[in-house]
Amino acid sequence: MERVLKPSIGYAFDGHLIPEIIARSWRGEIESRSKDPEHCPGLLDTFSPGGKYPGKGDVWRNPALGETLASIAKTIDAYMKRIGAFLSYEDLASHEGAWIDPVSTNYRGWDIWELPPNGQGIAALQILNILEGYDLADIGFGSTKHQHAFIEAKKLAYEDRAKFYADPDFSDTPVEMLISKDYAAEKRGLIDPQKASPSYCPVVLERGDTVYLCSADSSGMMVSLIQSNFIGVGSGVCIPELGFGFQNRGASFNFQSGHANEYARGKRPFHTIIPAFVTEGGKPLMAFGVMGGSAASRARPSYRQSEGFRHEFTGGGRCPASESCPFLAAIWIARQDD
């Protein structure tokens, strides 16, 4: 652990240059959050000490973060009690990473693999299942009919996303049914080819601030990795003595009584991050994923070739919100059929 953390500790004590895009976002977050400081305890002391935040080319140091790692859990627990938050020492001590079996659907000969809820990855599978009933190559990429089919398929999948996607430890999400071909055919039958339906309205909308990367090698090993602080500086709850802030994925909880994604202690919220894989004939073909947020979003696939892998950025364009990630992923996969 000492070896793994050494670079991060070095950056915290010695500092690092702030690039233009980070400086701009940093300024926007501080200016916005400082209007409501009681809901962002510790934020200004952590990320704007002395009322100043770094600009482009400035060196940012965070020695408090460098001192944090040895005593992190108990310090967090005491701070959360002081500000009346729900996160506790027990939550941190009992947390374990989980190995999750992915789920898949076959789209025109490709097996698309996604993580099941509490994430939204299966929305991409639902969209693709619906689209499989259309001759997209004949319709023409980017045509009115093509866009209509995609948008209506997205609405149908997101209706289910808003209702069912939640922590499977707390609710029985019908994943097998949702990604089945029969269910897709039933949903496809609801689409009117002549007009958009006004009745498919998702109720869970998010923004995001996410980093996605993927990698592959000639042996067939693929990595699809995603990390998200959700929105800018996250929750805005910071511990100045420790030098960092907390993410706010909990913002995606629902407070409707009885809802599958209703807030509960120890429960994981619905989230929007979707690392994924594609296989062909049981062999690795591609690692891909889509980052969320209002920044330009790109599907980032890594392909298998006979002489190894080539890496490439493809697809995407501007993405209005992280809720579009499954849609963007489905567009990229379906487009390959052309």
Question: From CA 282, how far away is CA 106, in angstroms rounded?
Answer: 11
pLDDT band at 199 (very low <50, low <70, confident <90, very high): low
Question: pTM score > 0.95 for this model?
Answer: no
List where CATH 1.10.246.130 sits in the chain.
Answer: 103-208+269-335
Checking if the pLDDT of 109 tops 80, the result is yes
CB 311 within 8 A of CB 302: yes
| Token pair of 122 as six digits | 């299966």
Q: Find the mean pLDDT for residues 233-257.
A: 84
The confidence score (pLDDT) of residue 304 equals 36
Q: Which residue has the higher pLDDT, 332 or 37?
A: 37
Question: From CA 99, how far away is CA 54, in angstroms rounded?
Answer: 39
Q: What CA–CA distances, in Å, run from 293 to 28, 58, 61, 247, 326?
A: 15, 25, 26, 15, 13
Name the nearest CA neighbour of 330 among 102, 101, 100, 108.
Answer: 108
Question: From CA 189, how far away is CA 134, in angstroms rounded?
Answer: 12
What tens digit of pLDDT does each residue of 276-316 get?
A: 888 999 888 888 887 653 333 333 344 333 232 222 222 33
**Class assignment of domain 103-208+269-335?**
mainly alpha
DSSP letter string, 257-323: TT-TTB--TTPPPP---EEEEEEETTEEEEEEEE--BSSEEEE--EEEETTEEEE--EEEEE-SSGG
For residue 211, the tally of other CB atoms under 10 A from its CB is: 12
How many degrees, rounded to 5, is the angle at CA 34 between CA 31 and CA 36? 130
The confidence score (pLDDT) of residue 206 equals 44
Checking if the pLDDT of 326 tops 90, the result is no
Q: What are the φ/ψ torsions at residue 132 (nearest 5 degrees)?
A: -60, -20
